[in-house]
Structure 1
């Protein structure tokens, strides 16, 4: 392990802030046996620390060292689960809402900005997290070409950030759905008095016809086995020539499954799509009119969330224990490192509805 880490400029118990400090000698056996799951759980248990964990992860991923520490059998198990089972079925759809998004509105109010947007901000002309989130929401509205009086469906509405801004500033009506009871409660509160309806449901149950569609940070929960039904649902919901703006985290490679630690502790049943997988899913239903990648902005967003979370911890610790603090710190910082290394991307796609879905077996003339 030491020799592999050295290739990335990392030294075990070294002097740099990105060097991991090992407190329990059993860490090494755990890392070899359980891969990234064991490494992450050892961090939660206090077996090791790293001042700049985000930078350490960035170096590990940039040097592709994760191939040596993933833990072959743990990864194979998750690959097989993704291949053999529909981990994002209707019956399992609410699991991530209950485990992650219902963790507590106090936590998310403290960590996020006033928009309560829980997705990548757009930092091009922003200097604060709030400015970056407002810029992201407005960018999506402009890409969707929202016009006053139009109807918009939002697949995965979170705490209502887009719905509130779009209804208030663009004069549209918004139907948003979420799988989190906590998100719906706060979204209803924030959007009171606006032409916004928030429903607690799975996207596969949506009905109606809308001028535009938006999905922000939800496609990561769909899973490869459901990409076709997701896209066909969006196609069905849109009026002819309707525009669909899809905002999603993306992987730099096509793969099945997800990191075992993230699956267990943060986003159960998640799956990060590659651009190739997104394009293939879109092809029968939509024309891709624009693809915008601003992945490095997610690094900055995640670090801003960590700073807010860390600063608010004295007020939060009455409701969350020290293990939660270490788990949440690990989550935010390893994700920041992944975007910093460019292993993860942030894609915004502008899609226009095909009038008639193409057959998957069509051939060019």
Structure 2
């Protein structure tokens, strides 16, 4: 992650920040938070504690980008950021503090520019997924799943992730010897699971060099091929397709290309399981802070955007929303990350720690407030409709 990783102290907090609290809370902020249960410098763990009065102007001018960067700079703290964001987003107040001009800029970029073009496709891999395998190995469970677990009958993270992988296999009616394409394979979690547990042959593609390296090591000796490749350049035919946590990087301008390509790659009687974060409303662009520091060029789809884009190519056989499970998944990652920090801090600085914990808790608040969803869709070609699909749920 070019802007935050490593031990470069030039990325650290502003050394001129004065100590203590900034108690003169502006009227506009008090009114904004009046019905949230949030009190600036209040006694509750979800109440933000402001250390630098410059915070208020920064948030007013820059919105969520200013809020996130000022937190990274140590201008404010909050013992339970997850609860802070839950209360904020439950009232949809994140729209009020996005920062009008910053939001317009990102809307215009999403509308006028293909932020997820082939030439830009590898940027998120370089900035986010290549930040360091040591970080992800410490934060994730041993499956190396960096997506929502399925907690229906699980008691801990590893069980939830294996349950999610098995659920996807059952939804695609995976059989021994099936040729499977994993679009956005990450560190090989699904590929390894499907090959070991279902004796499937898996081709996985990723845009991250670090993911490819570790995935190949994890899947050594299995019928698994891990490629560093953009999905648009894929060729061949596969019995089943799966995409877990990758569609968020496709972008609205490429949805038609994505589904058209998936249809061309899938056998006529195939099944495609698509697992993606979703928004309640159809929007262009993404949160400016998330775009800059976490997922550059990301775009969270609504269910309407997904269904409209896949309509010419697929029948939607099943839609499963278990977004509330992502809250628990993110908080488990946060716990693991904090526990590993004494070791990780040898490679990452304090500003990275604040950025990463802010990211995980911000997202947890999004799912806890139900502003964010997790959709698993089962897609089939129209010609396969004569054979009945049975959901394993």
Compute the TM-score of the two structures, normalised by the length of structure 2: 0.90
With 347-356 and 5-14 compared, the bigger mean Cα shift is at 347-356
Question: How far apart in 1 are the matches of 2:328 and 2:92?
Answer: 22
Q: Distance in 2 between matches of 1:109 and 1:276?
A: 35
Residue 48 of structure 2, aligned match among 20, 23, 47: 20
How far has the Cα of 1:66 moved from its partner? 1.5
**CA distance in 1: counterparts of 2:368 and 2:77, whole angstroms:** 20
Partner of 1:329: 357
TM-superposed deviation, 1:67: 2.2
Contact 1:59/1:341, CA 8 A, preserved across alignment: yes
5+ residue gaps, structure 2: 1-28, 385-393
Name the counterpart of 2:70: 42
CA distance in 2, matches of 1:259, 1:68: 12
Q: Give how far 1:241 is off.
A: 2.0
Distance 2:95 2:171 in 1: 38
State the 4+ residue runs in structure 1 displaced beyond 3 angstroms.
none
Using the TM superposition, give the Cα deviation of residue 355 of structure 1 relative to its aligned residue in structure 2, in angstroms. Answer: 4.0
* Residues in 1 aligned to 2:303 and 2:280: alpha-carbon distance in whole angstroms: 8
In the TM superposition, 1:10-89 aligns within 5 A as 10-89=38-117
1:169 to 197, 213, 222: 197
Aligned pairs (5 A) from 1:115-126: 115-126=143-154
| Most deviating of 60-69 and 330-339 | 60-69
Q: 1:201 maps to what in 2?
A: 229
Give the secondary-structure state (helix, strand or coil) at the position aligned to 2:264. helix
Report which stretch shifted further, 346-355 or 223-232: 346-355
The CA deviation string for residues 52-93 of structure 1, in whole angstroms up to 9 with x for no partner, is 101110100111112221100000000000000000000000
5+ long unaligned stretches in structure 1: 357-365
Q: Tell me, yes or no, if the aligned pair for 1:241 and 1:354 is still in contact at 8 Å.
A: no
Structure 2: distance between partners of 1:331 and 1:304: 13
Aligned to 2:15: none
DSSP-derived class of the 1:176 partner: strand
In 2, Cα distance between equivalents of 1:24 and 1:336: 26
Counterpart of 1:320 (choices 325, 336, 348) is: 348
CA deviation string 1:154-199 (max 9, x = no partner): 0000000000010111011000000000000000000000000000
Corresponding position of 1:280: 308
Report deviation, 1:354.
2.8
> What whole-Å deviation, never above 9, does each CA across 1:4-23 have from its counterpart, x for those lacking one?
11211100000000000000
Provide the C-alpha distance between the structure 1 equivalents of 2:243 and 2:382, rounded to a whole number of angstroms: 18
SS state at 1:318 partner: coil
Question: What's the secondary structure of 1:6's corresponding residue?
Answer: coil
- Residue-pair matches, total: 356
Query: What's the C-alpha RMSD, in Å, of the aligned pairs?
Result: 0.8
Matched, 1:235 2:272: no
TM-score, with structure 1 as normaliser: 0.97
Distance 2:257 2:270 in 1: 18
Which of the numbers 139, 147, 150 marks the counterpart of 1:111? 139
SS at match of 2:185: coil
Partner of 1:9: 37
